[in-house]
Structure 1
Amino acid sequence: MKYLQEYPKSLEGSKSLLAKYLSKEVFEELKDKVTSNGFTLTQVINSGVQNPDSGIGAYVGDEESYEVFASLFDPIIEEYHGFKKEDKHKSNLNSNDLNAPNPDPTGEYILSTRIRVGRNVKNIPLGPAINDEQRDAIEKEVSEVLSSFENNLGGKYYPLNNMSEENTKSLIQDHFLFKAGDRFLETAGLNRNWPNGRGIFHNNEKTFLVWINEEDELRIISMQQGGNIKEVFVRLVTAINTLSQKFEFAYNDHLGYITSCPTNLGTAMRASVHIKLPNLGDKMDEFKIIADKYHVQIRGVHGEHSQSEGGIYDISNKRRLGVSEVECVQDMYDGVVALIKREKELSKI
């Protein structure tokens, strides 16, 4: 990749946060800077330069990138998260602090619950900058630890490289198999040497899953059918704590858990439910007012940029940085309770 020496013309007219905050002055200030892992401004902005329709458009290759390129990332983070450079993140994984009795014990509304976090190993470059040997080492070490898990976390690891047709079909059927990233991740450098060094672990009950070297080095996921949100959270915390005994994850007091995409900083958590809300779906203005009040996002059944099918929506926490993990899940829970209450009222009209 050549070093950009002139301000990229493709950003003119782009609505991305990269285009908003990479002024020509900031570009001149940062264009020759480089992190100790060799990550440059050209690499930071390549995804947004190649894809002017990006929402953010900037990725980092290591924790140091957030300091070296701070004059770009500080305003992006402040706008996206409402989080200033002097603010401190807070973490709380104590499930006793979560007040979340099942909001739908009869199973009338919530189809499934899923909570995931991203994690990256301290002092190892992130996905856009990691080399093949480092990626392979992460896969080997993490998969070995996961394969030693027991009881309700015990299961099997499936490397993506040379995966059998039988395992491929099974993982697709369970919606577990991840593919090479889209054009945004491709141009961020996250698809290099695909599919080597990548894989999937899931427990025997198929309620706990770890993706190795997808967008983050680890995506740790807990999920199950129905609306027992606290049970899903407890399982996730158990897995995180067990992995934390073997690996030190990249974390700092300002940005929380370090991720290659600035939208995932802080808790790096997404807590979500698939929920049936056909009446609210017909009153989208009201739907959005409730969602905004409880800091939750509305997505289609297949995630971002997808449509609802059969009145089913994906509802997740919006805040990630500056709030704790417990607060993220509590946001989602409180929002879901309010949405179900209103859906019941509308069904009687």
Structure 2
Amino acid sequence: PASDFGDVDSFANVDPTGEFVVSTRVRCGRSMEGYPFNPCLTEAQYKEMESKVSTTLSGLEGELKGKFFPLTGMDKAVQQQLIDDHFLFKEGDRFLQAANACRFWPSGRGIYHNDNKTFLVWCNEEDHLRIISMQMGGDLGQVYRRLVTAVNDIEKRIPFSHHDRLGFLTFCPTNLGTTIRASVHIKVPKLAKDMAKLESIADKYNLQVRGTRGEHSEAEGGIYDISNKRRMGLTEFQ
């Protein structure tokens, strides 16, 4: 179906008492029109894309206003701050390395975040763009609204690759379609002791369970990363 973010005001706080949800995050991936996926990019293309992204993001205003940090030549203090904030992405894991998606590292890679540290863009990590909205607590509505505003703003300046049947094109096929992953870090200490039950509940609602630090990680203190599994054949709002 065509892209449809729906009524952005229809989402509320999923945990108003703050008892279970530690934080909420919604992200999407985008590929820039006219450029191949990472394994086929030249170093010149990487640099050109980073320049376009940096210029575009520096034009964001209001809540989205922030700063772009290129990975090339990044000083140690900035690097440490981004690590402390859990914003800095590392050179790809063995899967991305095997796919040849880490060429010319760190050329053409960068990170943007707003002043409040609730909005983040990764440039040329796995996808050309990873657009992320997040904050502590369970206010999904606020997080989703911020993401939609940002995506619409960026799309006015950078054309994205879209396919009528496959949706928005991404490097990893599991993200094709809406590319949206809406996730919460949630405390479920009792369910943590019964993984089979947690997995069966997640399957019933088309949800994916990951460890506290995301893919290929363990749960810490009964806190899991739980997100939507489906991205193909439905709209962003669905």
Band the TM-score falls in, shorter-chain normalisation: over 0.9
Q: Which amino acid aligns with 1:171?
A: L
SS in structure 1 at match of 2:26: strand
Give the equivalent residue in structure 2 for 1:93: 5
In the alignment, what sits opposite 2:133?
Answer: 222
CA displacement at 1:94 relative to structure 2: 2.5
Q: Pick the structure with more strand per residue.
A: 2
Aligned to 1:127: 38
Tell me whether 1:200 sits opposite 2:111 in the alignment: yes
Q: Does 1:187 align with 2:98?
A: yes
Matching of residues 273-312 of structure 1 within 5 Å: 273-312=184-223
SS of the residue 1:195 aligns to: coil
Distance 1:299 1:100 in 2: 23
Partner-residue secondary structure (3-state), 2:107: coil
Is the contact between residue 300 and residue 314 of structure 1 (CA under 8 Å) also seen in structure 2?
yes
Instruction: Compute the displacement of 1:116 (Å).
Output: 0.7
Q: Residue 39 of structure 2 aligns to a residue in which SS?
A: coil
Equivalent in the alignment of 2:29: 118
Question: If the length of structure 2 is used for normalisation, what is the TM-score?
Answer: 0.97
User: Contact conserved, 1:128 with 1:260, CA < 8 A, in 2?
Assistant: no
Alignment of 1:163 with 2:98, yes or no, is no
Report the Cα offset of residue 100 of structure 1.
2.8
1:268-303: per-residue Cα shift (whole Å, max 9, x none)?
111101000001112222212211111101111011
- Give the alignment's TM-score, normalised by structure 1: 0.67
- Distance (whole Å) between structure 1 residues aligned to residue 70 and residue 232 of structure 2: 32
What secondary structure does 1:223 align onto?
strand
Which residue, out of 319, 326, 342, partners 2:230? 319
- What's the RMSD between the two structures over aligned residues? 1.1
> Does residue 250 of the first structure (1) align with residue 161 of the second (2)?
yes
Distance 1:276 1:123 in 2: 43
Residue pairs, 1:142-181, within 5 angstroms: 142-181=53-92
* Cα offsets for 1:156-209 (capped at 9, x unmatched): 010000101110010000000001101111121211000011000000000000
One-letter amino acid of the structure 2 residue matched with residue 296 of structure 1: L
Q: Is the 8 A contact 1:190 1:215 kept in 2?
A: yes
Contact 1:90 1:322 in 2 (8 A): no
Residue of 200, 203, 211 corresponding to 2:122: 211
Q: Which runs of 5+ in 2 are unaligned?
A: none
Q: Deviations 1:296-345 (Å, cap 9, x if unpaired)?
A: 01111011221111110000000011111111xxxxxxxxxxxxxxxxxx
Counterparts of 1:233-272 in structure 2, within 5 Å, are: 233-272=144-183
Higher relative contact order structure (alpha carbons within 8 Å, sequence separation ≥ 6): 2
Separation (CA, whole Å) in 2 of partners of 1:100 and 1:247? 28
- Name whichever of 180-189 and 193-202 sits farther off: 180-189
Letter paired with 2:34: N
